[in-house]
Chains A and B, each alone.
Chain A
Amino acid sequence: MRVCRIDAVRALAALLLVLALVAPAGARAKEDERTAAAEEALSAWDMPKALQLAEDFVRENPGDPRGAWLLGRVRLHLGDYAGAVALLEEAGAPGNPGGYLDVARRTQAITASYQQQESEHFVFRYPPGKDEVLVPWALETLEAAYHRIGDVVGYKPADGKILVEVVANAEELSALSTLSIEAIKTTGTIAVCKFNKLMITSPKALLRGYEWRDTLAHEYVHLVITKKTRNRTPIWLHEGISKYLETAWRGPPGKALELPSEALLRDAVRAKKLITFEQMHPSIALLPTARDAALAFAEVFSAIEYLHGADPTSVERILSHLGQGLSDRDAVARVYGKPFAHFESGWRDYLRTRKYPEENASIALLEKHFADEQPEPPEKKDDRSPWRDLTELSEFREIKDARARKAAHLGELLRARGKHAAAAAKYAEAVARAGAQFPNLSNKYALALLELQENEQARRVLESTRKFFPNDVFTNLNLARAMMQMGRVREAEPFLRTAVSVNPFDPEIHGRLLAVAQETGDADLLQRSSRALALLTGAAPRTRSPGP
């Protein structure tokens, strides 16, 4: 999710105050004009222009704190935190929490020991240690996003490499982004596009990871939109386009809605309880409930889906109009070819005829939980089993059908006691009644089948749940397990790649990727997975498969 909190107004006010105190009355008008231009460039993340104007000002007005104030913030936006701190201090900027000086100081402190690797268009900074695992995958994602998303929106930033920073946890994300911890935890914010850079929380801060590669792409879309439209895009379009395009780096756009969101949208359409675009203003994050926020995201996604479906150049054109200064309603109306109200009713009609899955899933599945909010990850319960059971007991709470829940629970009791065949029978009964929309249930069923070497059946069970949750890490990992247990090592690769896109810190995934690389002779993958294993386990790279 992108959260853009521009402190420009406050900053401008402070600047104006300074100006009022120190600037000679005669020069004030001219300088106001120049500083306003610089502020506009800074706000639009037009960094070359902002830098030029700021440096000119400093050169022409040596010792003027306004220059240091302006250039300091430009430095902050360029990732030069030490320079930013020095200039902002020189400008006498207040060190209040959330202020530029505070952000620059805290960012400098946090990123002081960071390492960085670069690709053609990106600079990726990360804390030393295990987060290095992210590097090749992240840069691959970002470069793909640069080109594919650039094609869709008609804009590819060319004013320097884009900075991406990884933070260790919610606290650091708060420090770097100025969002409060509470806001981050309650809204499940894990990445932010702000200060002309992408900031992403390390997936290891979340117990089960998250779709961090799609998230990188999502934040990148925010950056592109901001730059292309000179920061003139309203939140609903920002989020809608970002959500819609976040999967474009790896395939077609518009694949980001999962079953809980689909079900939420479907029910709201049927109940005629959609959230209006007005209600989404000023921020979706300010909607009263998490359910409302989830619904709003699904709605804006579907609005872009509607526009893009009608004309694939819609997004590009809307952004262009916004960049030229049109309002969102006018931009959409011009691209749609009819007034905005017509677009809105057309979109509502589209929602009514849109295809939805009939299954249900709790929106709780969309929630992101930081590792410090969760109990310890489950240990392997049954010594006889080679599998780690990564599912939880409590997932059966979501199964409302009493008989299905009973069967699932019996399955659980039996599986915990090594009675895998009987457990599989009861899980099968539960799945038959409750359907495949409970990924943990399906995964438990699959685990029991894998124990029994019923690999093909396990694959079928997992495939049916993957339809609803294509990114579920356990479903993908278990599919890979099934494939490899069947000797179809090459076919495990896409599942493992999806799994690593969610939880890159699971050594098993990299161990299996290594086996795949050995099978396929993929040197790049071999190197990535070997390095990842060395980082994650501290052991020498393994050269054999991690087991069945």
Chain B
Amino acid sequence: MIDPSHSARPPHPEADARDSLRRVVDSLRRRAWRIHGGTALFVFLAGALLLAALTAVALGLGAPEWVRWPALALTAVGAAAAAAWAWERAARPTDAALARRLESRDPRAAGLATAVQLAELLPLAEGQDLGEKPFSPELARAHVAETAARVEQAGPEKAFDERPLRRAAAAAGGSLALLAVAALVADPVAEGLGRLAFGDGHAKDPRAAPRVAPITGDIALTYLYPAHTGLPPRTVEGTNGAIDAPVGTQVRIETRADRDLAQAFIDVDGASLPMEVKGRQLTGTLLVTRSGSYRFRFADERGRDIAVGPEIPINAALDGAPAVDILAPIAELTVTETEGVELQFEATDDHGVAKVELVFSVGSGPEQVVGIGAWGEPRRRASGSWVWELGGLQLRPGDRITYYLRATDNDAVGGAKQGQSRTQVLTVFSQAEHRRALVAKVEEAWEKMVLALGDRIAPREGPRAVRREERIEAGAPADEQVLEVGTTLADVAAELRKDENAPQELTAALINISQNVLEKSRVTRSVRAKARSAPRLVAELDRAEGLEQQELERSVLYLEALLDRQRILQIEELAREMASSRRELTSLMEQYREAPSDAAKQEILRELARLRERMRELMRRMAELSKGIQDEHLNAEAMKAMAEERDLASGLDQIEKLLGEGKIDEAMAKLQELGMQMDEMAKALSEAADSQAENDPALRQLAEDLQKYEQQLDQVAAEQQEIAKSTEELRREQARELQAQLQREGGEALVDELQKKVERAQQALEKLPADVPMRLSDDLGGAKERLENLKDALAVEDFDAAMESAAQALAHAENLERTLDRELGYARQFDLPERQELEAARGPTAEATPLVREVKEKLEELFANPSQRMSQQQRRQLEQLAQRQEELGRQMAQLQQQAEQIRQQAPIFDEAAQAAMEGAQRSMGEASQQLRGRNPGGALASERQAQEQLRTLKQGLEQARQQARGNRGAGGGFPLPLASGGRGGQRGSGGDFNEREKVAIPSADQYKAPDEFRKDILDAMKQDAPAGFKEHVREYYEEIVK
């Protein structure tokens, strides 16, 4: 049924239907052309490409050129066949046939063929005569209209399948790809394709040209080199013509033609240079400007080319940039700010080096250039040395100078070229930096100690502690670690001991710790070895391990506190350096304000750069500190100061900006403000160091205990002095009586004998060098002086004075001997340089001491049985003195206990201090016995010895304090270790060996030594030499640095 909606269509619905059908049929035909035409085209292409490939292979393999013609013919035939085939399928079928094709494939097109046929038969306009038709026009129209409406939804796709087209396209694409790949990978195919496309003539120059062949005979070349090369002219005969010369060289070419000719040319770089022709002899000249080639060309009288020679190469040697090497010093060198550094260099160039310059910059400052060598005559190799006086650079410790050498050649043709050496660095020696490096070593040793402590504790006290016999092996691994720690600590101590810049309290602490740890470790290992065969010793092993653990614990904590202190001091030092830099900056800015100049401004910028670098370093150090330091040791203000430093950097930026804008007054005001901030920070840091002990209860307790100890020591020393004074009084009374008695009985022989012994002792001591180390010199001087007094007293038969002098001389001599032994021990342990000196002193000392002792004993014999000469009152006095001396002995014992308590907290006391305490107590005991025995002379000697020991202790404490002051303003209440084990006083303080004094210019060869070695020498140069050794030391260093 017809859809009534069709009635609503526009007029001439039949015409619309016919149009619709027409569109359908047209689209079917287009589709037929696309499918069949496309298929034919791709099939043709596939075939043609395959044929081309086969032909190309044949041609490429050498087939004659005619092969291409059949191939091309076949291609043309194929093209025609393909076109015909396509025509047959797309153009020939009628509209009805196309419609039928669609109708047969798409149900929506049912009746299409009929509709197409009917539409052709129906008249276009109403009223036209249809004539005799075998169908109903209405029905036909309705059919046409209905089919047209329906078929619009059916596309032409179903009428013609695309698959053949796709397959053909794939075949064509595959063939093309195959051919392309073949052409790419196989030269014959490529060649064959070329021949197929263009024939054999395609490679030939289309212009007619003479055949290329040798046309000249032997060629002689005369080189005239450019003047800057300094090379003489050179002629080379019998060559093939190849030119090899620097750019700028004139080459004269002489050759002989293979024929008579009218004209000859040298073709080079597109230019033709005429040659002089004399018969067959040809002469010409060319200038070498670049690498390439030239050839000879002959021409007839009319200028027509008659022969062309082959290309002959020109190899133009370009003038290379010069090379320069720094032979000395080494790449990174530490120097003093005033010394001269010898730069040794070698520069090379292919033609000539004109000059060598030093280019350097201090810190991040601008580059500066100094000429250090220039040569008028061309030199291919130039070497030399130049002393760089650093004094004029106004360097500061820690400054870093980067430098390199720059060589310039004398190339007058292409322009001067430059080459430069590698960049090297000079670092101005900074005590602070050096000390930091030393402290880092101590930190490393400390870390090891903590780990060893952990392994010692775990099997003893950890949650899974090992009990009974199992402990013997469980604790063994820690033995090795503790031993290694002790050795490491001793090694570091030895290194620090050799270094004057080392913080002395660290040195002293390390010595004490290493000795204590090694001793405890020795005992533990020994007990463990025994326990392996006797397990009952487990309890003893536990005790030994426990003592070792305690030693490690207190050492870890004390050394950590000392390291914290060092870190704070380092920052403080850096802050001081910054303050100095800031002052310098202020001064420069004031100068600039008075007399502005570019140079002054540059100087200011340099100083600003320096300050900025210091600040950067400070910030870096503070960042490290804030992570590493135990904040228990810091007060809140110090922490705040550390946080505030960040603001300083922005202050510098502002100053630089203001300077750039020319606002000098504002810049100065800002600098002043910055200075105040920096001062506050420095103050806070200083307070932090001072309050370190206050913030840590353990340190505070230790400091208090040490203070109490010192007070007690003072009291004991004062009481001992009192007792000695009273004893001396009694002794004098006795002596006077004895003197009277001897005068009565005659005592010259005895005096003579004693005097001779004294003289022998003096002679022995005279063998010792006058400038012994200071720690020996006191006792040596004392002994000598007392012996002199003794001699004088004997001469006037003042036996009391003689007795006293003898006792004092003996005390000094014995002390000297002990100190010498101890120092020798250290020297051997740490392999110190003064070992030989000390060994040499040992003999004379050992010789003198017994002589003095004999004199003293003889004199004591004289005073024997003094009680017989004593009054009742004197006896009572002696008795009282004995009681006081005994009491003092008890106090001394308490003092030792106090020391032990301190020792339990930290390794404050060294072996010498402990020996001194023991010695003092022993002497006190002896003195009280002598007093009880009513022998005031003997008692006095012992009392004096006790006094000496107490003085030694006191001096140790004093020295520790002085060392702390050496590092900074004050000890800040920090309990420091006794320094007798350190370097304290090792070198005299009166030396005039100025570290800034210029010794000599070190030679270049010396700089080739490792930097480490050089630093050692520098360190050593800065150290004071003992009086008398000064010249020798100077000579020595001059020798080794030459």
Closest chain B residue to A426 by CB distance?
B457
The 6 A-B pairs at the shortest CB distance, nearest first, are namely A419-B454, A421-B462, A425-B461, A422-B457, A422-B454, A421-B458
Which residues from chain B contact A426 at a C-beta distance below 8 Å?
Answer: 457
Which residues from chain A contact B454 at a C-beta distance below 8 Å?
Answer: 414, 417, 419, 421-423
Contact B632 A397 (CB under 8 A): yes
Whether B630 sits at the interface, judged by CB under 8 Å, is yes
**Interface digits, A364-405 against B, CB 8 Å rule (1 contact, 0 not)?**
000000000000000000000000000001101100111101
For residue B975, give the distance in angstroms from its CB to the closest CB of chain A.
Answer: 13
Contact A400 B462 (CB under 8 A): no
Which residues of B, 943-957, contact A by the 8 Å Cβ criterion? none
Contact A425 B458 (CB under 8 A): yes
Contact A405 B458 (CB under 8 A): no
Contact B450 A417 (CB under 8 A): yes
Contact B553 A410 (CB under 8 A): yes
Contact B557 A409 (CB under 8 A): yes
Contact B462 A422 (CB under 8 A): yes
Whether A413 sits at the interface, judged by CB under 8 Å, is yes
Contact A414 B453 (CB under 8 A): yes
Contact B451 A417 (CB under 8 A): yes
Contact of A413 among B461, B464, B556 (CB under 8 A): B556
User: How long is the Cα–Cα vector from A401 to B456 in the complex, in angstroms?
Assistant: 24
Contact B556 A424 (CB under 8 A): no
**Interface digits, A478-521 against B, CB 8 Å rule (1 contact, 0 not)?**
00000000000000000000000000000000000000000000
Contact A413 B462 (CB under 8 A): no
Contact B462 A424 (CB under 8 A): yes
Which residues from chain B contact A410 at a C-beta distance below 8 Å?
Answer: 453, 553, 556-557
Contact B455 A457 (CB under 8 A): no
B residues with CB within 8 A of A: 447, 450-451, 453-458, 460-465, 553, 556-557, 560, 630-632, 695, 697-698, 700-701
Which residues from chain A contact B556 at a C-beta distance below 8 Å?
Answer: 410, 413
Closest chain A residue to B450 by CB distance?
A413
Whether A449 sits at the interface, judged by CB under 8 Å, is yes
Whether A406 sits at the interface, judged by CB under 8 Å, is yes
Known contacts being A410-B553, A419-B454, is A454 close to B463, with CB within 8 Å? yes
For residue B411, give the distance in angstroms from its CB to the closest CB of chain A.
Answer: 60
Which residues from chain A contact B460 at a C-beta distance below 8 Å?
Answer: 425
User: How long is the Cα–Cα vector from A454 to B455 in the complex, in angstroms?
Assistant: 18
Which residues from chain A contact B463 at a C-beta distance below 8 Å?
Answer: 421, 424-425, 449, 452, 454, 457
Known contacts being A414-B454, A419-B458, A426-B457, is A409 close to B632, with CB within 8 Å? yes
List 29 A-B residue pairs with CB atoms under 8 Å apart, sorted by A's residue number: A394-B631, A394-B632, A397-B632, A397-B695, A400-B697, A401-B697, A402-B698, A402-B701, A406-B553, A409-B630, A410-B453, A410-B557, A414-B457, A417-B447, A417-B450, A419-B451, A419-B455, A419-B457, A421-B457, A421-B463, A422-B454, A422-B455, A423-B454, A424-B462, A425-B457, A425-B461, A452-B462, A452-B463, A454-B463
For residue A471, give the distance in angstroms from its CB to the closest CB of chain B.
Answer: 26
Chain A-chain B contacts (Cβ-Cβ < 8 Å), number = 79
A residues with CB within 8 A of B: 393-394, 396-397, 400-403, 405-406, 409-410, 413-414, 417, 419, 421-426, 428-429, 449, 452, 454, 457
For residue A469, give the distance in angstroms from its CB to the closest CB of chain B.
Answer: 22
Interface SS, B side: helix
For residue A441, give the distance in angstroms from its CB to the closest CB of chain B.
Answer: 13
Which residues from chain A contact B453 at a C-beta distance below 8 Å?
Answer: 410, 414, 419, 422
Interface SS, A side: helix
Contact B457 A452 (CB under 8 A): no
Closest chain A residue to B560 by CB distance?
A413
For residue B644, give the distance in angstroms from its CB to the closest CB of chain A.
Answer: 14
User: How long is the Cα–Cα vector from A403 to B702 in the complex, in angstroms?
Assistant: 12
For residue A514, give the distance in angstroms from its CB to the closest CB of chain B.
Answer: 31
Apart from A396-B632, A410-B553, A419-B454, 20 more pairs, CB < 8 Å? A393-B631, A393-B632, A397-B632, A401-B697, A405-B697, A409-B630, A409-B632, A410-B556, A414-B453, A417-B447, A422-B453, A422-B455, A422-B456, A423-B454, A424-B463, A425-B460, A426-B457, A428-B461, A429-B461, A449-B463
Known contacts being A406-B698, A414-B450, A425-B463, is A393 close to B455, with CB within 8 Å? no
Closest chain B residue to A400 by CB distance?
B697
User: How long is the Cα–Cα vector from A161 to B1021 in the complex, in angstroms?
Assistant: 87
For residue A379, give the distance in angstroms from its CB to the closest CB of chain B.
Answer: 11
User: How long is the Cα–Cα vector from A328 to B701 in the complex, in angstroms?
Assistant: 52
For residue A444, give the distance in angstroms from its CB to the closest CB of chain B.
Answer: 14
Closest chain A residue to B464 by CB distance?
A421
Closest chain A residue to B451 by CB distance?
A417
User: How long is the Cα–Cα vector from A413 to B458 in the complex, in angstroms?
Assistant: 14
Contact A393 B630 (CB under 8 A): yes
Closest chain B residue to A458 by CB distance?
B463
Closest chain B residue to A396 by CB distance?
B632
Which residues from chain B contact A405 at a C-beta distance below 8 Å?
Answer: 632, 697-698
User: How long is the Cα–Cα vector from A402 to B457 in the complex, in angstroms?
Assistant: 20
Which residues from chain B contact A422 at a C-beta distance below 8 Å?
Answer: 453-458, 461-462
User: How long is the Cα–Cα vector from A457 to B465 in the complex, in angstroms?
Assistant: 14
Which residues from chain A contact B464 at a C-beta distance below 8 Å?
Answer: 421, 452
Closest chain A residue to B698 by CB distance?
A402
Which residues from chain A contact B698 at a C-beta distance below 8 Å?
Answer: 402-403, 405-406
User: How long is the Cα–Cα vector from A401 to B700 in the complex, in angstroms?
Assistant: 12
User: How long is the Cα–Cα vector from A417 to B453 in the complex, in angstroms?
Assistant: 11
Known contacts being A393-B630, A449-B463, is A402 close to B697, with CB within 8 Å? yes
User: How long is the Cα–Cα vector from A513 to B455 in the complex, in angstroms?
Assistant: 37
User: How long is the Cα–Cα vector from A416 to B453 in the complex, in angstroms?
Assistant: 13
For residue A213, give the distance in angstroms from its CB to the closest CB of chain B.
Answer: 33
User: How long is the Cα–Cα vector from A417 to B560 in the complex, in angstroms?
Assistant: 15
User: How long is the Cα–Cα vector from A426 to B457 in the complex, in angstroms?
Assistant: 9
User: How long is the Cα–Cα vector from A114 to B456 in the complex, in angstroms?
Assistant: 59
User: How long is the Cα–Cα vector from A196 to B597 in the complex, in angstroms?
Assistant: 71
For residue B696, give the distance in angstroms from its CB to the closest CB of chain A.
Answer: 8
Which residues from chain A contact B697 at a C-beta distance below 8 Å?
Answer: 400-402, 405
Closest chain A residue to B553 by CB distance?
A410
Closest chain B residue to A452 by CB distance?
B463
Which residues from chain A contact B560 at a C-beta distance below 8 Å?
Answer: 413
Closest chain B residue to A413 by CB distance?
B450
For residue B563, give the distance in angstroms from its CB to the closest CB of chain A.
Answer: 12
For residue A264, give the distance in angstroms from its CB to the closest CB of chain B.
Answer: 22
Which residues from chain B contact A424 at a C-beta distance below 8 Å?
Answer: 462-463
Which residues from chain A contact B695 at a C-beta distance below 8 Å?
Answer: 397
User: How long is the Cα–Cα vector from A425 to B553 in the complex, in angstroms?
Assistant: 13
